[in-house]
Every structure is written in structure tokens, then in C-alpha cells.
Structure 1
Amino acid sequence: MTDTVLTSSALLAGLPARQGFGDATLIRLAAGSIDLGGGNPATDLLPLDVYRDAFREVTESDGFAPLLKYSPASGLPSLRASIAAREGVAADRVLITNGGAHGLALAVLSLLDPGDVVVVDDPVYPLFLRVLDLIGVDVTPVRVGADGIDTDELEHRLRDGLRPKALFTVPTFQNPSGVTLSAEREAALVALAEQYGFVIIADDPYRAIAFPWTEVPERSAFRDSDRVFAVNTFSKTLGPGLRLGWIVLPAAMSERVTWLRNRLDGQTSGVLQAVVDRMLADERFDASIIAAGAGYARKAEALTTALREEFADGVEIAEPQGGFFTWVRLAGDIDFAQLFERSQDLGVTYQRGEWFATTGDAFRGFARLSYSEVGEHDLTEGVARLARAWRELTGRE
């Protein structure tokens, strides 16, 4: 018997290891630790009763057995129609996916070739950069301001010769900064996409998690444009374990993206699609999402109040209006890597700001703190532990 060497594909061999965000080896969660780094929804704010009733209705109906067969690659027609009605688009533009990450992968594989230029939010959702590793592209960051990605900066760079194939943004309650793209900047972004010929990948998983006083733009410019791949998921409203999402596609590309999907995983669970379709029709569903937004608002207030009390003038806070995160900047000329490690020694972890940079150590001193899953008491205690570590390193009393 001769020895053979198992060789991988160039793609597999070339995938870089995770560094920073998503690298579980950097996170130490001992017993009693408080995790301010996660992106899970709070299970007590999910519509569990609606879930249970929908599962029972689906499994006890005469139509249950056929759902166990293969389902269409584009998704069940009834669920596509339900989502289309909510999005204000034609049902044939809706493709059901296995969650948001699947939708982003389909967008990247549908739009990009090796060596293309992609503009991204700065700070950026880091896991999108991991998806880009599948292709091998050049990434150009553009600043995110109070109204979302800075379309003035983008326009200036386009006039100077920047020619992206695509642009990626999280338009509503952006991860990590929490800001929302205004309707005016949304329209300006679409106009630039049409003028310069790039496609917008709009990843919008937090859109439904609005605080009671927050008005979310309708995204009509995105909806009406044929240059937008609008990716969404039920992970934040129904839980990431569901693995169900959707893309609103440009009409001209809907068929071909479905062909691509057919060559990858083929379908999304028909059973889960039917369950979610029932839930969307349940009059309790929308009320539960509104109630969840109010619940997250209380958690956000507990976190920001604790930050002000513990850090005083040593912290700058981007006030959250929805979503799951608070983006903060801590004062002090200190080693923030050491701060992260000392905080974990004291029993609290979070996401370091540098992990949301495309390259280098931009966003040094920033931190993304999550309030979504943690109870209000633990939010206060977690901030106290972080502040203790910060005071030790800065010498502040």
C-alpha cells in the first residue's frame, strides 16, 4: 500500500484562520462570566407561544407529509408571497435562504469575481469579510457616520476613480455602530450605484428590532432599485437556531441566483418554512416583535446608565435606537488588548473595536457591548467589572 497525501482545493487551502471577531480561542467564559459580546436574541423575548402553536398546526394538518419532500429551491410559494407582501415587492423576487450568512454567500458568489473591488462599512461587520474570502477581492472601507455610510465620501472617491463592483452595508442599527442609514443617504447611495454601475448588498437583520420611539426608514429606494441585493433573516426575531432568511433580488437576476442556489444546497426545510408562514399570519406575531423592541430598549438603557455611572467622562456612547449593540469608546492611553484580557480575568467579555476594522488597528479603544441576551442585573455587573479593569490600567479612582 502506497502512502498518499490528501490535498485540498486552492480555496480551502487559502482560507485564512479567523482572527479577532469570531475566534472562539480568544474568549474565556468561565463559570459566572458575563458575555457582553454575543448577538443572540433573548429567548424570553421570542414569541415562543406563537412558535408552539404554529408547529402544532403544521404537523397536525393534512399538508404536513408533503412538506417532508424536497421543496422548491426558491422557497415555498406561500412563504415567498407572505414575505413579499411585507417587503412591498413581487413574490418572484424573493428567495428563501438558510439564514443571513447563506444569503450573503449567495450574494457574493452571484456578483463578484476574484480581484473585484468591494466597498464596505467602516467599521464593518467582520463576518462579511470572511464571506469575501470565498472569492478573493480588494476591500475598500468607507466611513460610517451618524446617518449611515458616508455617501459624500463615497461620491468623492468615485469621482477620483474608485470603481467598485459592489458595496456592502448594514443599513439599520448597523453592526457594530448602531446607526441607521437615513432615507436621504439611502436615495443618494442608490443614485451612485446607478451612476457608477455597482451593486448594493444591504444586510438588514436588525430592522425589526426598533425601540418604541424609533422610526425606521421604509427602504423604498432599495426596494425599487434593480441594483440592490436585500439580505435579511429571522435570526434576530425568531432565533438563529431557526436558520431561515430571505433575499429580495433584482428581478433580472432572480432566476439565475436560484440556479446557483440549486447547485449548492438545493433547498430550505419545507417544514420550517411552513411554520414561519403560519407565524407571520398569526395576529400575535407583529405584536410580539414590537414588545421585543421595548424589552431591548430597557436592556439598552440599563447598559448605558451603568456605563455613565461607572466611567463618567471616560466613555463616549453611541446611543442605541434599536438592534442589539452599544458602540462605545473608552478613554485612556492604555493597552486595550491588556484591558480585554484583564476584563476576562474579572469575568466579563466583549468585542474589541479593532476587530471591526478592515485592516490594522483602527477603532482602538472602541468596544461593541451587547445588551440583547443578558439580563439587566448582569448588564450592570458586567459594566462594573469592565470599569474595574479599566481603572486598574488607567490609574483612575
Structure 2
Amino acid sequence: MTDSAPTPSALLAGLPARQGFGDATLIRLAPGSIDLGGGNPATELLPLDIYRDAFRAVTESASFGPLLKYTPAPGLPQLRAAIAAREGVSADRILVTNGGAHGLALAVLSTLDPGDLIVVDDPVYPLFLRVLDLIGVEVAPVAVGPDGIDVDELERRLRAGLRPKALFTVPTFQNPSGVTLSAEKEAALVGLAETYGFTIIADDPYRAIAFPGVTVPDRRAFRESDRVIAVNTFSKTLGPGLRLGWIVAAAALSEPVTRLRNRLDGQTSGILQAVVERMLGDERLDASITAASTGYARKAQVLIAALRTEFGDAVEVAEPQGGFFAWARVRGDLDFAQLFEAAQDRGVTYQRGEWFAAAGEGFRGFARLSFSEVSEQDLSEGVSRLARAWRELAGRG
């Protein structure tokens, strides 16, 4: 008998440890600390009453028993139909997933082979890069501008010989920058994908969180192209604890992606699918999401006002139009690693800009500040604590 652990697979042994974003060892949340780094929705803005009514109706219905059995791998037909109606596509293009991360993993495993090249947003959602660790690919960053990933830069590089197998972008209220890919750039991006033969993986979890007066592109070009795999989740509107999302893919991909899914987790909870299907049919839901978006807009205004009051001309930040985050840059030649630690010493934490660089050490001086879950009072206090750390480090105190 031996005490040694099993020998890990090459995949398991080769997975790098988390560094930067998502590395809990870097975050110090002492009692009383204010966390401006998270991506949770505010519990008080979630549709809790609609949840309770839906759970009660599902568990008391005659169809509850069968929901405890295995369910179809693509998802319950009634939920796929409900999602398809909202997406404006046929139900055979919908695959229900266990959240957005699961959808991204399916998209990556369905699209890429070891050694392939993928273009990604820069700054990028860092956890997507960790999904790529499952395959082992090369990453080509393309800058994100005021209206999304820089399609003009991408076109220049494609003409110069860049040949990606896929492209990843967060098109609406991009994480972390908050910008939105315009309809014109979306159509141009699809045109490039069809000309050069790459697949677009469009991760769109914040699309429903548009602030009052903000119009979001309907993503028609994405919807109508077989070159696009659209990934989405209910995590931002119904809560990440639900672990329910979906992908929209070309109808021809549905069966092979289902085969892949059958070799991984097999299915999503039938009970949760039935609950969400009932919630989607509840006439109160859209109004609830709109009210939540209004609440997030107020929080964003509080955060932006506090940043401008405390930092003045030393901060560069655009007003968010939706989503959960502000992307702020503090000007000056500072040790921003030291600022991060000094801020935590004063009881506030956030996500450092360098952690969102797709390659290298870009975005020095940037910070992703989350306003979604934190109270308005704590948003102001959190920025005040950050500013005190900055003033002391910059010799402005």
C-alpha cells in the first residue's frame, strides 16, 4: 500500500495556478472591508418574489416528479423555446448550459484544437483565458476601443496574414471596459469572420443590464451568421447561484455539440430549467430587470461622482451605460501594486487593471471597480478609502 497520490494527467498537471484575477490569496477582506472587485448582482435587485412563485408552482405541479429524472442534453424543449423566442432564433439552435463558463468551455472545445490561434479582447475577461488552458492555444490580443473590439485593427492584421481559428469578445458592456460593440462594427466583424473563416465566440452576459435611455444593438448580424457561437447566462439577471445559461449556435452544430456535452456533464437540472421557463413567462420579469438596471445606474452614478470628487483630474473614467463595472485609470507614475496593498490596508479592494491584459503587463494604473453589489454608502466610502491610500502614496496628503 502506498501513500503517494495518483499521477495527474498531462492536462491536470499543466493547468497553471490562478494569478491575478480570481486569485483569492491576493485579496484581503477583513471585517468591515468594502469589496469593489466582485461581479455579483445585488440580491435586493433580483426578482425574489418571482422566484418563490415559480418554485412553488413547479414543485406543486403534476409534472414535478418527471423533472427529477434525467432530462434531454440540449435542455427542456419548453425552456429552449422560451429562450429562442427572446433571442429571435429557432429553438434547435439553443443549448441550455450550466452557466456562462460552461457555455464558454463548450464553445472552446467545439471550435479550437491545440496550437490554434484565437483573437481576444484586450483588455480581456481573464477567466476566458483560463478556459483556453483546456486546449493549449496561441492568443492574439486586439485592442478594445470606444465601440468594442477594434475591427479596423483586426482587418489590417488579417490582411497582413493573421489567421485565427476563432475570436472571443464580450460585445455589450464589455468586461472590464464597459464599452459596447456598435451594430456597424458587429456587421463588419461578421463579414471578416465569413471572409477569413474564423468563428466568433460572443459572450454577452450583461446585455439585459442596460441603463435608462441606453439602446443596445439587437445583435442581428451575430444572430444571422453561422460563424457565431453566442454564449449567455442568467447569472446577472437571476443570480449566479442558479448556474443556468445557454448558447446559440448554427443548427448544424447543435447535434455535435450535444454529443460533446453528453461526454461531460450530460444535462442541466430539469427542476431549475422548469423554474426559469416559468419565470420567463411571468409578465413581471422584464419590469423587474428594468427596475434592477435603474438601480445599477444609480449606483454607477454614485461611484463615478465619488471618483471625480476624490481624485479630480487625476482620474480618467467613462460613465457606464450598463453592466456592473467602471473602468478607471489613475494618472501618474505610481507603484500600483503598492497602491493595491495600501488600499487593502485601509479596507477596500478592487481588481487591478494589469490582471485584464491579454498578454504582457498592459493597463498599468487601471482598475475595474464594481458597483453592482455594494450599497451606495459603501461605494462612496470605498472610493474615499482608495483615495486616501492614493494621496498618501502620491505625496498629496
- TM-score, L = length of structure 1: 0.99
Contact 2:314 2:330 (8 Å CA) reproduced? yes
Counterpart Cα distance in 2 of 1:44 and 1:2: 52
SS of alignment partner, residue 232 of structure 1: strand
**Aligned residue for 1:265?**
265
**Aligned residue for 1:27?**
27
1:205-244 to structure 2, matched below 5 A, reads 205-244=205-244
Q: Measure how far apart 1:320 and its partner are.
A: 0.3
**Aligned residue for 1:47?**
47
Q: Find out whether 1:114 has 2:114 as its counterpart.
A: yes
**Aligned residue for 1:152?**
152
1:301-340 to structure 2, matched below 5 A, reads 301-340=301-340
Q: Find out whether 1:133 has 2:133 as its counterpart.
A: yes
The 3 A distance-change label for structure 1 pair 207 and 2 is closer
Counterpart Cα distance in 1 of 2:3 and 2:243: 41
Q: Measure how far apart 1:83 and its partner are.
A: 0.3
**Aligned residue for 2:357?**
357
Counterpart Cα distance in 1 of 2:297 and 2:41: 13
**Aligned residue for 1:287?**
287
Q: Measure how far apart 1:293 and its partner are.
A: 0.5
Offset from partner CA, 1:206-232 (integer Å, 9 cap, x none): 000000111000000000000000000
Contact 2:169 2:202 (8 Å CA) reproduced? yes
Q: Measure how far apart 1:202 and its partner are.
A: 0.1
Counterpart Cα distance in 2 of 1:298 and 1:141: 33
Q: Which moved more, 1:247-256 or 1:96-105?
A: 247-256
Offset from partner CA, 1:125-178 (integer Å, 9 cap, x none): 000000000000000000000000000000000000000000000000000000
**Aligned residue for 1:78?**
78
Q: Measure how far apart 1:60 and its partner are.
A: 0.3
Counterpart Cα distance in 2 of 1:60 and 1:3: 50
Q: Measure how far apart 1:3 and its partner are.
A: 6.6
Unpaired stretches in structure 2, ≥5 consecutive residues: none
Counterpart Cα distance in 1 of 2:366 and 2:323: 18
Offset from partner CA, 1:81-120 (integer Å, 9 cap, x none): 0000000000000000000000000000000000000000
Offset from partner CA, 1:54-86 (integer Å, 9 cap, x none): 000000000000000000000000000000000
Q: Measure how far apart 1:363 and its partner are.
A: 0.1
Contact 2:141 2:359 (8 Å CA) reproduced? no
Q: Measure how far apart 1:331 and its partner are.
A: 1.3
Q: Measure how far apart 1:2 and its partner are.
A: 5.8
Q: Measure how far apart 1:361 and its partner are.
A: 1.5
Offset from partner CA, 1:256-300 (integer Å, 9 cap, x none): 001100110000000000000000000000000000100000000
Counterpart Cα distance in 2 of 1:2 and 1:138: 39
Counterpart Cα distance in 2 of 1:274 and 1:383: 42
Counterpart Cα distance in 2 of 1:318 and 1:16: 34
SS of alignment partner, residue 177 of structure 2: coil
Q: Find out whether 1:249 has 2:249 as its counterpart.
A: yes
SS of alignment partner, residue 263 of structure 2: helix
Counterpart Cα distance in 1 of 2:5 and 2:166: 39
Aligned positions, number: 397
**Aligned residue for 1:180?**
180
Aligned-pair identity in percent equals 80
SS of alignment partner, residue 283 of structure 1: coil
**Aligned residue for 2:94?**
94
Counterpart Cα distance in 2 of 1:56 and 1:332: 56
Q: Measure how far apart 1:359 and its partner are.
A: 2.2
Contact 2:121 2:358 (8 Å CA) reproduced? no
SS of alignment partner, residue 210 of structure 1: coil
Q: Which moved more, 1:186-195 or 1:356-365?
A: 356-365
Q: Measure how far apart 1:122 and its partner are.
A: 0.4
Q: Measure how far apart 1:358 and its partner are.
A: 1.7
SS of alignment partner, residue 393 of structure 2: helix
SS of alignment partner, residue 284 of structure 2: helix
RMSD between aligned residues:
0.8
SS of alignment partner, residue 163 of structure 1: coil
1:48-67 to structure 2, matched below 5 A, reads 48-67=48-67
Matching residue's letter, 1:252? A
Counterpart Cα distance in 1 of 2:163 and 2:155: 11
The 3 A distance-change label for structure 1 pair 305 and 70 is same
**Aligned residue for 1:393?**
393
- TM-score, L = length of structure 2: 0.99
